[in-house]
């Protein structure tokens, strides 16, 4: 399956994370950065970047694994049309009444 298409589709339905949680992370980073050396800050940032990349890949894989069965189910369903249903019922009544008159 084309992952670029899936990324775009996921982005279409994506909702932004909780703002309060983002602020808490930023505040935690500020407190931590005051206490650790620059070298340790770089290590922590690399770990956070790796974790974010892993989370992004996991979220995409989760979206794809849910989308594939949904796409299959949608393909199996016949789209419903009220007008087509009404016409079929009318045809049934006409053929029923027409056969009775013969």
Structure token pair of residue 84? 């087509």
Joined together, the tokens standing for residue 3 give 């992952």
Q: Please state, in angstroms and as integers, the Cα–Cα distance from residue 43 to each residue in 37, 46, 67, 101, following that order.
A: 10, 5, 36, 88
- DSSP letter assigned to residue 17: P
Residue in this structure with the two tokens 């690399």, named with its chain if needed: 46
Write out pLDDT tens, residues 31-69.
888 898 999 989 988 998 999 999 989 988 888 888 888
Neighbours of 63 (CB within 10 A): 17
Please tell me the least confidently modeled range out of 10-14, 23-27, 57-61.
10-14
Confidence of residue 102 (pLDDT cuts 50, 70, 90): very low
Q: What's residue 101's pLDDT?
A: 47
């Amino acid at each position: 399956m084309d992952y670029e298409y899936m990324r775009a589709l996921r982005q279409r339905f994506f909702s932004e994370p909780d703002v309060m949680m983002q602020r808490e992370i930023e505040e935690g980073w500020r407190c931590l950065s005051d206490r650790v050396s620059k070298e340790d800050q770089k290590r922590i940032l690399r770990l956070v970047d790796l974790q974010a990349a892993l989370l992004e890949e996991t979220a995409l894989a989760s979206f794809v694994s849910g989308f594939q069965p949904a796409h299959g189910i949608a393909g199996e369903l016949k789209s419903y049309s009220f007008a087509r249903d009404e016409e079929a019922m009318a045809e049934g009544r006409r053929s029923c009444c027409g056969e009775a008159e013969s």
